[in-house]
Structure 1
Amino acid sequence: MLKLQQLSDILELQALCEKEDHIMLKLNWDMLKNRAPGSVEDFFHYEGKLLIGFLGIYRMGQNIEVCGMTHPLYRRRGVFTKLWEQAVSRGQLVDANQVLLNVPRDSVAGQAWVHTRPVVLQSIEYTLKLDKEHNSLRIDEPESAVLRPFNDSDIPLWIRLDADAFAISEASTTATLANANRSKTRKMLVIEHAGIAVGKIEVDYEGEHSWIYGFVIDPALRGHGIGRSALRQVALAESQAGHSVWLNVVSDNDRALYLYESCGFQHQDIQDYYLYSPPMPEI
């Protein structure tokens, strides 16, 4: 569990790097704020009381994502490499099916560093933001989706949909749902149609920013406007609450991308995910 001062230091360094580099860093704040006690998933480099380097490890089902940053005035000094070597030496990456290094496309320093590692580009993710002035969230017809809060009886639904859509294991979803702190930062909603639970959608809050996550409709019921109805309702409610509304989507998910764009979401940033492929040890 991270201390409040550590979270504050990460936030301050993130704001500085994003402003200096004109990028968006995906630091998964919903996970940072809810680290398990005793976990070793975050690595820090301080110069006195100033945080100049940070690396975070994020477990996504059977995979691990890595993201971090270095203070602009302390780059090219091996700071991030030391953090990476600490993470590797602590054995934090050995039990993952895949290790993905997340780098903003426009981060010159990040792209330069990642290409010093044995990696290949695996996927690209777009960050989208709702255009508050030009969108199609308001309609004059009955909604096909009904939203209600998640409860414990929905755990099997969460497990099934997470596995189908994101390849997240039952153990990982169960552990996530068991984290008592998660409900403090994330709203979890069940999507119903004709009285049957057919999907889920979640919203995590970072100040006045609302991030839509975990949005899934049962594959058998896609193409009937249920997902569009649910997305419209959630995005409209968050926008009317005065929040900016954000989401991420992989670049090759054409169906989801069309849905988001047609509802009024616009491209803001590109995130590259590199598959880390360390050389096999010699025998």
Structure 2
Amino acid sequence: MRAILTRSVRVALRGSRSSNLPLRLLRTTMASPPQTAFSRLSQSASFVSTHASSEACKSREENRGVPASSSGKEAGRACWSCGDVKPSFCFLCKRCNKVQPPEYAVSDGKYVCHYELLGMMPPRFDVDTQQLDANYRELMMALHPDKHGASTPAEQEFVSTHSANLSEAHRVLKDPVKRASYLLELLGMPGLQEEERVSDMSLMMEMLEADETVEEAEGPSDPQLLEVHSRYQQRFEEARDGLYDLFRRERFDLVKESLLRLQMYQRLLNRIKERGVS
């Protein structure tokens, strides 16, 4: 896998920042790329990335939404309402502002991924969650049913489907465990499986003891519960930061074990939160 990653994908994983303009994203989408690791992604992912450069997006914007491609021959789709040529995928027509059908396949074998839906390209683990939340709110506001109350039933169904997919994309990318698993799938590797466990048996025993402490706590102010919360909150943050580094260095062989640890810490912290500890 490391051998076939292109330079552009490596830059993305190493920490490049993207320009996030959600209202532009409503009317434009990523262009189809040359053959890279990101254009040969696993079909098991909810959406498959069509990784493209910011220059391609800029070019497409200047050409009224016609998608760019390496061959220059890829055509967009006509808006169902006004007939204007639009990108292979967009939420709203740039010309008439009508909601477009939820057609997430942009070309053969390529689908819009969660990162693209929320204007957070390129795909990466180190996501700016504040920007993610801001993009999500802005997109959901633009697609709010109240703004499309006079639309046809079909258009309202388009809005409902887009909103549901945006919510799912936000849920996945907001959660570091789900995000890392999803990114592995985008890279053509298995994400987290329900039956997977860490290989470190001593850690397993330690977590069982921590679980017992949580269950036996007398209340949210129990000193032992608070100590466990503090200890594993720190470990969670360390494991998350470790994943940032592993993705940046493309050490995908080590990501899964680190991700399983992060998941264990997250589950424990969620149980502690259920006991009233914030």
Q: Using structure 2 for the length normalisation, give the TM-score.
A: 0.29
Greater radius of gyration (CA): 2
Higher RCO structure (Cα 8 Å, ≥6 apart)? 1
More helix by share: 2
More strand by share: 1
Q: Using structure 1 for the length normalisation, give the TM-score.
A: 0.29
